[in-house]
Chains A and B, each alone.
Chain A
Amino acid sequence: MRPAGYFRWAAAGAFALTLGLSSCFTERQNEGAQLYAAHCASCHGDQGQGLERLIPGVAAADYVAQHRDELPCIVRKGLNGPLVVNGVEYNQVMPGHEDLTDSQITNLLNFLQTNWGNQNQPYTIREASDLLGRCNGSDGQ
């Protein structure tokens, strides 16, 4: 047995356990929530609350419902310039996310559209890919 084999087993054990105990760290286990935590929470807040008048919240946000068709491209390409959310004007730079696949953007937005006071229609991956096509932002995955 080569030493590399031992490492594989030890790593596999630790990994299996990480998966098993991940409920210690995350309240939700679906991909959308995890993507939100990894890519969005630092600015938009760990509960989607935003930051004062600097960064708009995404929880119970009229913008999320009213701009449903634009959100996939906003996540993909980012945003620059003023916008109004729940009656408050914001003006910050949001970076784009070329590193996410179409299906990841779908899961992320479906998490937002159905949580934290948002009760909007989720996207199918195909629909999100079509919407991403508007900004040449679909990677077809």
Chain B
Amino acid sequence: MIIRLFLRRAGLLAAGTVTGLSLLLAGCSPSSADHQQPDRLPVLGFKAAAPTSPGDTLPDPIPAFRLTDQMGQPVTNQTFAGKVYVTDFFFATCPSICPKMQSELLRVYRAFEDNPNVLFLSHTIDPAHDSIPVLRDYAERLGIQDAARWHFATAPHDTIFALARAYMTGAEVDRTVQGGFAHSGTFALVDSHRRVRGVYDGMVKEEVDRLIEELPLLLREEAAAQPTAAR
């Protein structure tokens, strides 16, 4: 009886360790080894509007918006006409994930610094604190001297939170967390037709690497759709 018990225990112990081992070793191996790059990025999002036809199955596009950036200039959907952009949600005094997230977005920005067809849009989720001068100071300290390529934008709370949902990012007021706002570090990649084409966890380096890999796919698709446009 004692031996049988021992064997059963040993078996479970082995099962536990094998499971643990495979999980752990998966973490050690490069994640991109079996990663196949798609030819075309999917269209992501939610469909709240009723279909206009049986074939109308695409998610809703990003709604029309009007924000104000760190230079006090309006930012609308027109700002991104004919471009692709990467967006996230942050606030200037965020003590938890924002610095890491913004340093990762800065990495993406630098990777595409020479391509005027790639823009960046960071929304503050704390518009009460993050005035235009605060946003401008934040941007300059991050090394972004003007808003030509990277807008740090503000708008009323309701506008920002509705946009966060559209960009598939979680953002809400939560007084129980440090800083007073709960939000995820999601980056959304948006095409020139206001459609979300990728979402990436801005807190995970490998996910941000994937964004840097996939963004040229979207640029190629956009260029192919406008064969006469100057590259």
Contact = CB atoms under 8 A, between A and B. Distances in A.
A102 B12 CA distance: 39
Interface in A1-54: 1, 5-6, 9-14, 16-18, 21, 24-25, 41-43, 45, 51-54
A21 B24 contact: yes
A18 B95 contact: no
Interface string B7-25: 0110011111101110011
B36 to A, nearest CB: 25
Contacts of B95: 43, 93-95
A51 B103 contact: yes
A119 interface: no
Contact of B93 (A13, A24, A51, A93): A93
A124 interface: no
Contacts of A120: none
Nearest to A49: B103
Interface stretch (B135-143, B161-169, B206-214, B219-227): B135-143
By CB atoms of chain B within 10 A, which of A16, A24, A52, A94 has the most?
A: A52
Interface residues of A, number: 30
A24 B9 contact: no
Nearest to B4: A1
Given A21-B24, A42-B97, A94-B95, A13 B142 contact: no
Interface in A67-100: 90-95
A42 B96 contact: yes
Nearest to B9: A9
A55 interface: yes
Nearest to A5: B9
Contacts of A18: 20, 24
A5 B16 CA distance: 13
Nearest to A17: B20
Nearest to A14: B20
A3 to B, nearest CB: 11
Contact of A13 (B16, B27, B137, B140): B16
A9 B12 contact: yes
Contact of B102 (A45, A51, A53): A51
A54 B178 contact: no
Interface string B73-95: 00000000000000000000101
B141 A6 contact: no
A10 B141 contact: no
B184 to A, nearest CB: 14
B50 interface: no
B21 A12 contact: no
A91 B21 CA distance: 45
A21 B93 CA distance: 37
B93 A42 contact: no
B127 to A, nearest CB: 17
22 contacts: A5-B9, A6-B8, A9-B9, A12-B13, A13-B15, A14-B20, A17-B24, A18-B24, A24-B25, A24-B28, A25-B27, A42-B97, A42-B99, A51-B142, A52-B106, A52-B142, A52-B143, A53-B142, A53-B143, A54-B142, A93-B95, A95-B95
The 7 closest A-B pairs by CB, nearest first: A10-B16, A13-B16, A14-B20, A95-B95, A53-B141, A13-B13, A43-B99
Given A18-B20, A51-B142, A52-B141, 5 more contacts: A10-B13, A17-B20, A53-B140, A54-B142, A55-B99
